[in-house]
């Protein structure tokens, strides 16, 4: 299997670059090689690589910055996936694309299903939804994987922010009125590899949207408390409201994802978010990775 990966330096892309070689030849690209804001560059790179599978892990992920830079966010999140899908269809390739829980408005009281109505409340979510629609319109074979609250020990994410603040302060305040399904980049990469293996074996349909996240719902406050507990940091985590921390982009109050469809399709049981977080933080506890901050 010949695989073209975009976004190798991102959280999910970094993990995919280590997981995907188990499936075959991997061509991993970053922004220097493939700028998703340039449709002609996309077509050129894909045609040169002639992959059987395209895994698009690149995205414009600066949620707040997207509010003031919607054009660039749309080019990368909305238009580029459509170009990749057109090229995938031309080659007969499978496109794996990552979307987000932010395509929902957060008004539901239980985890969102794939068939639930989408209604993004910020520019980032709107551009990611447009990317989904562009893939569907292109008609290529595809797996669109919606993820939630992605984190890792690399880059910039909520987990690393919490750990940095917890080392700097004796007391921090974290919002308790936003709920989701925190998911590590490692879990996403491993689950993607499993799904691709199943697709290659012909045991799963190649045209679908799936939710890929951990089990059970967490508030940002609960997630922060558990991370600090796992690393035995001496920091008190107080509950706060979103209104105390106004940001340019609105966040859905509840954007947890239901994953039963993914689990059935690929014969996997996705872990509880606490178990996933514990696994992610293990290298720090074992002294293999330095503590952030």
SS3 of 130, please?
helix
- From the list 7, 204, 181, 250, the residue with the least C-alpha distance to 94 is 204
Whole-angstrom distance, CA of residue 58 vs CA of residue 36: 8
pTM, to two decimals: 0.96
Q: Residue 146's closest CA among 256, 284, 239, 287?
A: 256
If pLDDT is split at 50, 70 and 90, which confidence band does 200 have? Answer: confident
C-alpha of 144 from chain center:
11
Please report, rounded to a whole number, the percentage of residues in the chain having pLDDT higher than 90. 95
The question of whether 60 is a catalytic residue gets the answer no
Instruction: Compute how many other C-beta atoms are within 10 angstroms of the C-beta atom of residue 103.
Output: 26
- CA-nearest of 94, 85, 89 to 132 is 85
* Residue 72: predicted pLDDT: 98
Mean of per-residue pLDDT scores for the chain:
96
Residue 207 pLDDT more than 90?
A: no
pLDDT digits (tens, 9 = 90+) for 25-69: 999 999 999 999 999 999 999 999 999 999 999 999 999 999 999
Q: Spot the catalytic one: 98, 102, 112, 124.
A: 124
Q: Taking 70 as the threshold, does the pLDDT of residue 10 lie above it?
A: yes
Q: Considering the chain, what percentage of its residues have pLDDT values greater than 70?
A: 98
Q: What burial letters (b/e) apply to 24-54, b meaning 16+ CB within 10 Å?
A: eebbbbbeeebbbbebeebeebbeebebbbb
Confidence bin at 292 (pLDDT 50/70/90): confident
Q: Please choose, from the candidates 156, 175, 251, 252, the residue with its C-alpha nearest in 3D space to the C-alpha of residue 220.
A: 175
Q: Which fold has domain 2-157+181-216+255-272?
A: Rossmann fold (3.40.50)
Examine the pLDDT at 259 and tell me if it is beyond 70: yes
DSSP string across 41-89: HHHHHHHHH--SEEEE------TTGGGT-HHHHHIIIIIHHHHHHHHHH
How confident is the model over 179-186, as a mean pLDDT? 98
Answer whether 59's CB lies under 8 Å from 150's CB: no
Average pLDDT of the residues in 95-109: 97
d(CA 184, CA 187): 5
- pLDDT, tens only, 156-181: 999 999 999 999 999 999 999 999 99
DSSP state of 23: G
* SS3 readout for 237-259: EEEECHHHCCCCCCCCCECCECC
What mean pLDDT is predicted for residues 122-131?
Answer: 98
> Do the Cβ atoms of 58 and 31 come closer than 8 Å?
yes
Return the pLDDT at 20: 98
Is residue 82's pLDDT more than 80? yes
pLDDT for residue 23: 97
């Amino acid at each position: 299997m010949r695989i073209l990966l975009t976004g190798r330096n991102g959280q999910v892309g970094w993990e995919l670059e280590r997981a995907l070689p188990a499936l075959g030849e991997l061509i991993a690209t970053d922004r220097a090689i493939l700028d998703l804001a340039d449709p002609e560059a996309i077509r050129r790179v894909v045609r040169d690589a002639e992959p059987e599978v395209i895994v698009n892990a690149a995205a414009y992920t600066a949620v707040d910055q997207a509010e003031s830079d919607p054009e660039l966010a749309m080019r990368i999140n909305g238009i580029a996936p459509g170009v990749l899908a057109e090229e995938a269809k031309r080659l007969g390739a499978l496109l794996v694309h990552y979307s987000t829980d932010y395509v929902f408005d957060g008004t539901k009281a239980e985890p969102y299903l794939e068939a639930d109505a989408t209604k993004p409340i910020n520019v980032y979510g709107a551009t990611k939804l447009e990317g989904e629609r562009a893939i569907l319109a292109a008609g290529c074979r595809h797996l669109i994987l919606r993820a939630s609250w992605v984190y890792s020990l690399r880059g910039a994410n909520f987990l690393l922010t919490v750990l940095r603040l917890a080392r700097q302060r004796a007391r921090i305040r974290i919002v308790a009125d936003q709920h989701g399904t925190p998911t590590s980049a490692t879990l996403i990469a491993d689950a993607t590899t499993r799904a691709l293996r199943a697709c290659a074996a012909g045991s799963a349909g190649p045209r679908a949207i799936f939710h890929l996240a951990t089990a059970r719902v967490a508030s940002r406050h609960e997630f922060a408390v558990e991370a600090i507990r796992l690393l035995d940091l001496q920091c008190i985590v107080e509950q706060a409201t979103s209104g105390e921390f106004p940001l340019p982009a609105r966040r859905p109050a509840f954007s947890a994802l239901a994953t039963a469809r993914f689990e059935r399709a690929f014969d996997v049981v996705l872990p509880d978010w606490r178990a996933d977080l514990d696994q992610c933080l293990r290298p720090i506890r074992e002294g293999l990775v330095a503590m952030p901050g």
